Amino acid sequence: MEESSSRNMRREEAKKVRQKTVKKRSTEEEEEEQDEIFNFNKKPAEEEEEEEDEDLSDSEDSVFSGLEDSGSDSEDEEEEGSNDKEDGDDEGLKTGPEESEQIEEEKGGVTHKKQEDEYERDSSDEEDIRNTVGNIPMEWYRDFPHIGYDLDGKKIYKPIRNKDELDEFLDKMENPDYWRTVHDKQTGSDIVLSDEQVELVNRLQRGQFGDVNFNEYQPQVEFFSGDLMVHPVSNRPADKRSFIPSLIEKEKVSKLVHAIKMGWIKPRRQDDDSRGRYYDLWTNEDSSILAKHRMHLPAPKIPLPGHHESYNPPPEYLFTDEERALWEQQDLSDRKFPFVPQRFSSLRQVPAFPRFIHERFERCLDLYLCPRQRKMRVNVNPEDLIPKLPKPKDLQPFPTTQSLVYRGHSGLVRSISVSPSGQWLASGSDDGSVRFWEVRSSRCMKTVQVGGAVRSVAWNPNPSVCLLAVALDSVVLILSPSLADRQVVSSSERLLSGQQEEEPAEGVGPVTWSEGEGEELNQGIRLKIQHPKAVHQVAWHAKGDYLASVMPDHSSHLQVFIHQVSRRRSQNPFRKNKGLVQCVSFHPVRPYFFVATQRSVRIYNLVKQEMTKKLQANSKWISSMAVHPGGDHVVCGSYDCRLSWFDLDLSTKPYKMLRHHKKAVRGVAYHRLYPLFASASDDGSVIVCHGTVYNDLLQNPLIVPVKVLRGHVITHDLGVLDVTFHPTQPWIFSSGSDATIRLFT
Amino acid sequence: MSQLQARFFTENKRYVVDDVPFSIPAGAEVLDLSNVINKLLEAKNASHSKVEFDFLVRGQFLRTSLSTHMETEGISTEDVVEIEYVERITAPEPEECMMHDDWISSVDADAEWILTGSYDKTARIWSVEGKAVMTVAGHTDVVKDVAWVKRDGLTSLLLTASLDQTVLLWEWNSERNKVKARHCCRGHTGSVDTVATDPTGSKFCSGSWDKMLKIWSAVPTDEADEVEEPADRPRKKQKTQQLGLTRTPLMTLSGHNEAVSSVLWCDSEELCSASWDHTIRVWDVETGGMKTTLTGSKVFNCISYSPLCRRLASGSTDRHIRLWDPRTKDGSLVLLSLTSHTGWVTAVKWAPSHEHQLVSGSLDNLVKLWDTRSCKAPLYDLAAHEDKVFCVDWTESGLMLSGGADNKLYTYRYSACQTDAGA
């Protein structure tokens, strides 16, 4: 009961406050009050407690009673749980005590009966129901002695008003509480407002909340903010329906599914436009016009205006003096803008654009001239067009550096040839000599003076004989240099001396055969074949018995002779003149004969005696030709700096044209074993190319230029005149107009 | 400049210094180190005269500053560096120049006499002082190689190989100065480019352009081997009859695919040949079988074998001298490449008494003296020749010889470096 005792104490205090505020309270009243308490005390203890609570709250809140009814909401809420049912009379009680006291003051003992019926005066719109007249103008009772009726229907008499104006005035002057005394019209009595009530009135007049303790600027708790909360707003467990599929929906869906299955529901039908909703205007139009329309290109969009076009551009867009000068110097088409950015303080001050018509015209012109045709441009990366070639480093071996220089000739060296063993090198020069060099030491082992500028030398490719064919002027000499084994020398002797007796019978032809004599024999000149005209080239057949010689002549069909050395016979294979013959070559294995004229290469079958192929070199003047050791490829050099590679299986057109030389190509050569070929040119360089040939017909030859070899000095506008490979090593010999022969390894 | 801790040592007893680490500047070069050693030696021995030294760090000659060298060789500078020092090999001094009538193709020298082969179809014998003693004429074509066989007192046997496909065995009496062709060795069908005598002097081997190696007896006899010559060439036969008795090979070794360029005897049972087919082959003389093939990438011009270091040196048609181990089974492994020449290397020769030195001649007119411990650069360039160098040789008596296309045979005196011969 500590609690109740403390409450009693507080109640005492509250009483004191009440005594203070209500001055007119009499001792009778106090008795009444005590009586009231006594009455309350007759109730059960629990109720009493509650009543006390109410009273307590009443006493504390009573200062505002009758003037506010929601000020202490929070307190009400706190107590809500326990005295829900007293809510109603709590409201009533709030206004209750003072007025009931006042009534009691007038009526005496009847009042405590009313107190018993708590709901007696309960009304939402009538605060004071001691007077039952309601909310009427009280002037209506001005002339009556009463001002209304109480609940029992008895008149409520006006208080005896004995105050006249003078009393009023005196009261006004003397009564210090006059200013807080208000006249209650319904009861006709004067009420002196307590300090709290005055304060409340002042607060309300100032537009403030009635409750002093109410903080209207309480911090707001934002539940639904952007911040991610750790805890849920409410601790309520999730609804079961939130995680259990809805049975109703399931039922609905299954119904729909069933309907679709049964075909009751059909998918939404597409609106068919073909029923003449739209009419194709162009169906009967000419297709070319249609195509033109389909290819329509919209005019390019004019870019949006930028800052520089503003009437008040930012200062960085304005021209500096240099920029302006530059702009003025520039050509119209080079200018970045067709105008100078200018600054005006307002749009109003912008003058008319002087070139407006001109500018409009140009725009229209742009539109008019804009290409309206789609250009079918193929997007090709230039890198892709370059064929993927292996690096030269991976294609070794090939000659790279100059190793030896063979010096001794005094004139330009027109032709060189390597012996089939690779031990000897023969060279023919304009100084009238043929020299034999030891390859490995660059030693000139033998010099044969032949008495005329040597045009061509060719070593017999047969390794069992050792013979050299030399073309000078109109003579072809067969030399036996006796630089080989005795067996070889003797076999070549035998080849030369065979069938000698047949010679006279053949003597009538244009070619005469004669043997070397005297000093010539000592030098090794064994046979002389006199031709009617100057011989430019000699070429051996691979077997080493047949020899072809070339006498270029426009007017005659006597341009090529094929000689058989063993039988000392010569014949002219061609009856017609097909053009100026440049060079000839035998096929390495098959009975084919290659004849290069100025523009083309003809391939003849010697057995069938017919032309099998004609290769068109896309060049003006073929200078030299070489046949691949496999026989299926031919490379031609021409005076117009080109090198053309023909794949005989592929086409009669060149498979590849190489234009690496700056000047006329003079000589070409294939390597016998390595996939190499080379070309010599008047620009003093020899270009070595890698040329792999595949047995697979589908795979084209791989041609990679690998090395440019320089060394020869250009004299009299002539550079390298002949080029030939070593038969077994990846070495190349070149002879030049500077009277030297060079070996590159 | 930082300092390095270095400890010096030498094989030579004369120049030993205390075995304590010295602190030397990292930027020190050969000359600085040499001065240091000389100072130390002077402190020990007042009568010491200044000697030039060369320094070896981990078996490599010091050629730059010490710090650079150690950086390139990847040697830690934290530890004490072991530096070996040897007396510097002095530059070979040119001695004699022997003029020939034509290019010199080959040279073979011993302690007393020098034998040269020339393109004028003769071989010549010179004294080491440079006096022409004898001209050995008889070949019908260029002499490609020459070799001494053996010497018994005043009588010497010598070989000349020629382009005329024969090898001639001559007997030369130095007192009477008479030379006599004892045997004409026939059988090759190409130019005989190389000939080598076995260590015992009883056999020799020849290599030829016809891809064959032939082994012959080097013992002169008075009987000719019967040769089944075709009878239809009387003229040639007459010529050969003048040149001693015909001899046929004891054995023919075939296997090379290209011309044989150089042949030598590793020992009396083993033969080594280099060829244009990019291989070096080692042959067993007893069985005539091939033992090992070393495959290169370029034509081999010459090989030389040093029994001291058991290495094979080869010169090829590129610029490099390569060192091989002939004992490796699948040998295509180059132990070391010496690169400084700019032309084909036509001749290499190991020093007879020094395991690290070799001399090489090249088409770039230079003769170079190499030390394998300094593979980046040669010790000395001998630029006496005005044309291609074809042959080089050493003698144990301290001569280096080189001959070439300028018809001159140069001899150089070199310090027969006995000091670190046993190193």
pLDDT, tens only, A431-478: 888 888 888 888 888 888 888 888 889 888 888 888 888 888 888 888
pLDDT score of A373: 64
**Chain A residues touching B363 at Cβ < 8 A:** 403-404
Query: What pLDDT band is residue A372 in, cutting at 50, 70 and 90?
Result: low
Name every residue whose Cβ is closer than 8 Å to that of residue A422 and which is 6 or more positions away in sequence. Answer: A439, A726, A727, A728, A729
Strand partners, B93: B413
Q: What is the mean pLDDT of residues B222-233?
A: 56
pLDDT score of A619: 83
pLDDT score of B342: 87
B36 phi/psi in degrees, rounded to 5: -60, -50
pLDDT > 80? residue A113: no
Q: Over chain B, what is the mean pLDDT?
A: 81
How many beta-carbon pairs under 8 angstroms link A with B? 43
Residue A231: Cβ within 10 Å count: 6
Q: What is the CA radius of gyration of chain A?
A: 66
Query: Are the Cβ atoms of A485 and B258 closer than 8 angstroms?
Result: no
pLDDT, tens only, A261-312: 999 988 887 766 566 667 777 777 666 666 666 666 777 777 888 888 888 9
A404, A423, A443 member nearest B209 (Cβ): A423
First CA to last CA across chain B, in angstroms? 33
**Chain A residues touching B119 at Cβ < 8 A:** 443
**Chain A residues touching B390 at Cβ < 8 A:** 441
pLDDT > 60? residue A114: no
Q: What is the mean pLDDT of residues B254-275?
A: 87
H or E, element range at B260 = strand B260-267
**Chain A residues touching B105 at Cβ < 8 A:** 441
pLDDT > 90? residue A488: no
pLDDT score of B38: 82
pLDDT > 70? residue A523: yes
Query: Are the Cβ atoms of A490 and B210 closer than 8 angstroms?
Result: no
Name every residue whose Cβ is closer than 8 Å to that of residue B54 and which is 6 or more positions away in sequence. Answer: B30, B61, B62, B85, B86, B87, B88, B89
pLDDT, tens only, B156-170: 888 888 888 888 888
pLDDT > 70? residue A95: no
Of the CA atoms within 13 Å of residue A736, those in its CB half-sphere come to 29
Query: Are the Cβ atoms of B103 and A486 closer than 8 angstroms?
Result: no
Bigger pLDDT: B226 vs A717: A717
Query: Are the Cβ atoms of A745 and B190 closer than 8 angstroms?
Result: no
B39 interfacial to chain A (CB closer than 8 Å): no
pLDDT > 60? residue A108: no
Which structure tokens are listed for A407?
A: 């010096």
Q: Rounded CA gap, A456 and A475, in Å?
A: 11
Q: What is the mean pLDDT of residues A598-614?
A: 86
- Kindly list the residues of chain A whose beta carbon comes within 8 Å of any beta carbon in chain B: 397, 403-404, 421, 423, 440-443, 445, 485-487, 490, 728-729, 745
Bigger pLDDT: B122 vs A388: B122
Q: What is the CA radius of gyration of chain B?
A: 24
Chain B residue with minimum CA distance to A490? B233
pLDDT, tens only, A178-232: 888 888 777 777 888 888 889 899 989 988 888 888 888 888 877 777 888 787 7
Q: Using an 8 Å Cβ cutoff, are B80 and B6 in contact? A: yes
Q: What is the mean pLDDT of residues B283-310?
A: 85
Query: What pLDDT band is residue A107 in, cutting at 50, 70 and 90?
Result: very low
pLDDT, tens only, A322-337: 999 999 898 888 888 8
Query: Are the Cβ atoms of B258 and A728 closer than 8 angstroms?
Result: yes
Q: What is the mean pLDDT of residues A528-557?
A: 84
Q: Rounded CA gap, A68 and A661, in Å?
A: 116
Q: Over chain A, what is the mean pLDDT?
A: 76
- CA dist list (Å): A614 to A395, A582, A601, A602, A652: 32, 15, 6, 4, 6
Q: What is the mean pLDDT of residues A138-167?
A: 81
Bigger pLDDT: A322 vs A619: A322
pLDDT score of A52: 42
Q: What is the mean pLDDT of residues B233-260?
A: 70
pLDDT score of A57: 40
d(CA B209, nearest CA chain A) in Å = 8
**Chain A residues touching B103 at Cβ < 8 A:** 441, 443
pLDDT score of A290: 64
pLDDT score of A289: 66
pLDDT > 50? residue B363: yes
pLDDT score of A60: 41
Query: Are the Cβ atoms of B344 and A442 closer than 8 angstroms?
Result: no
pLDDT > 90? residue A251: yes
Bigger pLDDT: A728 vs A44: A728
Query: What pLDDT band is residue A26 in, cutting at 50, 70 and 90?
Result: very low
pLDDT score of A498: 67
pLDDT score of A253: 94
Q: What is the mean pLDDT of residues B73-97?
A: 79
Query: What pLDDT band is residue A256 in, cutting at 50, 70 and 90?
Result: very high
Q: What is the mean pLDDT of residues A486-508?
A: 64
d(CA B344, nearest CA chain A) in Å = 7
pLDDT, tens only, A469-484: 888 888 888 888 777 7
pLDDT > 70? residue A39: no
Query: Are the Cβ atoms of A486 and B165 closer than 8 angstroms?
Result: yes
Query: What pLDDT band is residue A257 in, cutting at 50, 70 and 90?
Result: very high
- CA dist list (Å): B95 to A166, A329, A734, B380: 166, 81, 40, 16
B330 phi/psi in degrees, rounded to 5: -105, 65
Nearest to A721 by CA among A398, A407, A430: A430
pLDDT > 60? residue A34: no
d(CA B331, nearest CA chain A) in Å = 21
pLDDT > 90? residue A656: no
pLDDT score of A79: 40
pLDDT, tens only, A386-423: 777 788 888 888 888 888 888 888 888 888 999 888 88
Bigger pLDDT: A149 vs A82: A149
